[in-house]
Copies of this chain bind each other. A is one copy, B any other.
Amino acid sequence: MSIERVAIIGLGLLGGSIGLAVREHAPGITTTGYDRDEGVRRVARERGLAAAVCDTAAEAVREADLVILCVPVGAMEAAAAELADLLPDGAIISDVGSSKQSVTEALARALPGKTIIPAHPVAGTEESGPEAGFASLFTNRWCILTPPEGTDEEALAALSDFWAKLGAMVEVMDAEHHDLVLAVTSHIPHLIAFTIVGTASDLEDVTRSEVIKYSAGGFRDFTRIAASDPVMWRDVFLNNKSAVLEMLGRFTEDLTALQRAIRSGDGDALHDLFSRTRAIRREVIKEGQDDGRPDFGREDHG
């Protein structure tokens, strides 16, 4: 089994990047695309995000052997339900959502008896919408597949092969573990960034203008993440509640311990932690998961 016709439902950053990546890296695969927003469809046609951008979901999925839902996780069930009577026999249904347990359940409810293999390419930028996608988004990034028990092995292999063609490295794990891992590596970092940017903009004794001017001290990094799509992230937190709250609890315990160290002037405790965290950065770079140049190679280093 090999995937030849892919329908992309939702043509924002992720959906658009899949279309562009197929065109660049897997030209033998045909893409169709659909977005419920007419303006998005127009931009998608201009940018060629799919070989055919269709005006209905029915048209987009009619001949697909893989359908990828690229909508916020809170919209998955409704988007899937619309397709229930339209899907070709044997088509694989997948997605790109950042939480996997709730999506797995939502898709199973909407599409009983279908071949459902949830997926999460761990890639993105702070941008969103049909202008934001690009063909190399998945290059050297991990794509995690979370096949439910009893998933057809051939279908799983076909989906893995599809993501590998787009440049991704593929990993398989269960949805529950995915949700815990991503709570740490993605959801909590976003929650913290949203929070501190909100805190900084609500102060009375420090003006917003000062916060902007002196943001190069570290704050500006957080503003990038806190510029991410509000609907997507609202849905992530509502749909990965228990893992997020669990990890948030660990984070605040550690933060409280540091707060105590600062209050009591315990320099050794601070130095000990700050020395350990440096090593992680080196590993992230060594594993190809970030640009190793200082400051991410930001262009202002002239």
Contact = CB atoms under 8 A, between A and B. Distances in A.
Query: Copies of this chain, how many?
Result: 2
A186 B215 CA distance: 7
Given A197-B277, A290-B300, 8 more contacts: A181-B214, A192-B255, A195-B254, A215-B284, A221-B221, A234-B274, A293-B299, A295-B296
A151 interface: no
Contact of A126 (B208, B214, B225, B294): B294
A122 interface: yes
A190 B223 CA distance: 14
A89 to B, nearest CB: 34
Contacts of A181: 206, 210-211, 214
Main SS at interface, chain A? helix
Which range contains the number of A residues in contact with the other chain? 35 or more
Contacts of A200: 184-185, 280
A226 to B, nearest CB: 4
B230 A274 contact: yes
Residue of A98, A206, A217, A237 ringed by the most chain B CB atoms within 10 A: A217
Nearest to A294: B125
Nearest to A269: B234
B180 A189 contact: no
A159 to B, nearest CB: 18
A236 to B, nearest CB: 9
B244 A262 contact: yes
Interface in A249-274: 250-252, 254-255, 258-259, 262-263, 265, 267, 270-271, 273-274
